[in-house]
């Protein structure tokens, strides 16, 4: 399977009194606030101190409703990823809990649970950065927790968190229909995380269908786009790979998309086929339909060449108008 920073944006928060506005004919739900830092002149620059090549891994799981069982699978996969030389490991959405019944009360796993603590300890023990695709976080509504992506650094400390904004619905008149708004509370802030591998734009699953999310992250300086997912088999067969390749190409960024796979209970099946893509849209590594780990080397020199060869990000004329929160302290400088 193995082939082959930019300035921060000041967080101002969403404008709840004005939930949207028109600008240049586009309905915009958030406000953008640019604040240049580090003396950089362009959001497209990447610090020279970021390693030219970093090895990453995407973990594909088949999670269920038992956090302890899911943790065992995740820890074993982390060990495999480390054995393959990964410095940055990404786990899929619903890493430790995948709901099978909408009447269930989801266990709150972030920030205080023994399972989450075990994942932090694994990152610290192996001295790797670990992206946990999503964990349940208390939202104040017991029936609708946040679905929160968590980036943990190589010391086992929380570096960044992102609450899923876009909530998936599938209405085909079948028992497997989904409406995540019934069981998940939405977030309202985009997040880019500083890391020694380059700035990482965080997203989760259904966010993939909203290109403005990734353009905002790319314009903020993201060189890696994380898309931990639990894509359904029905939609994944036709949309998963084309959407991921499009996000990589249009934002000239690496895309790492670890996914859930296989049958979860009676009415839910995930597509799998986790992917790692380069900024040209080329597949660096692709999983099949079974749980597994894939690896790839991210070549930042190749990213710079692509962004110089086709400088489309510098030619953007219609800027995204969204709030991006920059989190973390390690940016490769």
What are 12's two structure tokens? 């101002």
E strand segments, 69-223: 88-90, 129-137, 146-152, 158-163, 169-170, 178-179, 190-193, 200-202
Residue 40 has pLDDT above 50, yes or no: no
How many residues belong to the chain? 333
319 alpha carbon, distance to own chain's centre? 22
Q: Write down the domain spans for the chain.
A: 51-327
Cβ-Cβ contacts under 8 Å for 147 (sequence gap 6 or more):
93, 94, 134, 135, 136, 137, 163, 164, 180, 184, 204
* pLDDT for 47: 59
Average pLDDT value for the chain: 86
Q: How far apart are CA 331 and CA 333, in angstroms?
A: 6
List, by residue number, the catalytic residues.
Answer: 93, 164, 205
* pLDDT for 37: 30
pLDDT tens-digit readout, 117-152: 999 999 999 999 999 999 999 999 999 999 999 999
Fold of 51-327: Nitrilase/N-carbamoyl-D-aminoacid amidohydrolase (3.60.110)
Which of 186, 189, 150 has its CA nearest to residue 169? 186
Q: How far apart are CA 43 and CA 37, in angstroms?
A: 10
CB neighbour class for 131 (10 Å; exposed up to 12, middle 13-18, buried from 19): buried
CB 7 within 8 A of CB 182: no
Residue 25 has pLDDT above 50, yes or no: no
* pLDDT for 173: 63
Residue 93 has pLDDT above 80, yes or no: yes
* pLDDT for 28: 34
Q: How many helices (H) and strands (E) does the chain have?
A: 6, 19
* pLDDT for 44: 54
* pLDDT for 330: 75
* pLDDT for 19: 32
Q: Which residues pair with 137 in a beta bridge?
A: 110, 146
* pLDDT for 31: 32
Q: pLDDT-based confidence at 45, cuts 50/70/90?
A: low
pLDDT tens-digit readout, 157-198: 999 999 999 998 877 665 556 788 899 999 999 999 999 999
More reliable by pLDDT, 322 or 43: 322
Least confident range of 2-11, 46-55, 99-108: 2-11
pLDDT tens-digit readout, 208-254: 999 999 999 999 999 999 999 999 999 999 999 999 999 999 999 99
Mean pLDDT of the 304-331 span: 90
Share of the chain above pLDDT 90, in %: 74
pTM of the model: 0.85
Which of 227, 266, 236, 267 has its CA nearest to residue 56? 227
Tell me how far apart the terminal alpha carbons of the chain are, to the nearest angstrom: 31
CB 303 within 8 A of CB 254: yes
108 preceded by a cis bond (ω within 30 of 0): no
* pLDDT for 147: 97
* pLDDT for 179: 84
């Amino acid at each position: 399977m193995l082939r082959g920073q930019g300035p921060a944006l000041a967080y101002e928060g969403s404008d709840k009194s004005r939930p949207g506005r028109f600008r240049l004919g586009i309905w915009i739900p958030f406000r953008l606030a640019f604040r240049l830092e580090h003396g950089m002149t362009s959001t497209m620059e990447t610090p020279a101190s970021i390693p030219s090549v970093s090895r990453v891994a995407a973990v594909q799981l088949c999670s269920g409703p038992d956090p302890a069982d899911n943790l065992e699978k995740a820890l074993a996969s982390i060990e495999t990823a480390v054995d393959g030389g990964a410095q940055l490991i990404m786990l899929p959405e619903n890493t430790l809990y995948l709901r099978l019944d909408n009447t269930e009360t989801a266990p709150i796993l972030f920030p205080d649970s023994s399972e989450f603590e075990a994942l932090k300890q694994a990152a610290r023990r192996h001295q790797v950065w670990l992206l946990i695709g999503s964990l349940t976080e208390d939202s104040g509504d017991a029936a609708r927790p946040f679905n929160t992506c968590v980036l943990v650094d190589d010391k086992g400390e929380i570096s960044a968190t992102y609450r899923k904004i876009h909530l998936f619905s599938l209405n085909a008149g079948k028992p497997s229909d989904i409406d995540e708004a019934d069981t998940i509370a939405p977030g309202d802030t985009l997040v880019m995380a500083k890391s020694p591998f380059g700035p990482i734009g965080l997203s989760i699953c259904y966010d993939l269908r909203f290109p403005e999310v990734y353009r905002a992250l790319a314009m903020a300086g993201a060189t890696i786009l994380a898309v931990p997912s639990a894509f359904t088999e029905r939609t994944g067969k036709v949309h998963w790979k084309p959407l991921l390749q499009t996000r990589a190409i249009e934002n000239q960024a690496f895309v790492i998309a670890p996914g859930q796979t296989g049958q979860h209970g009676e009415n839910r099946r995930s597509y799998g086929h986790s992917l790692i893509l380069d900024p040209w849209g080329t597949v660096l590594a692709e999983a099949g339909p079974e749980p597994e780990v894939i690896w790839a080397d991210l070549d930042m020199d190749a990213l710079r060449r692509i962004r110089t060869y086709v400088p489309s990000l510098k030619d953007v004329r219609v800027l995204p108008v969204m709030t991006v929160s920059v989190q973390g302290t390690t940016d490769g400088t």
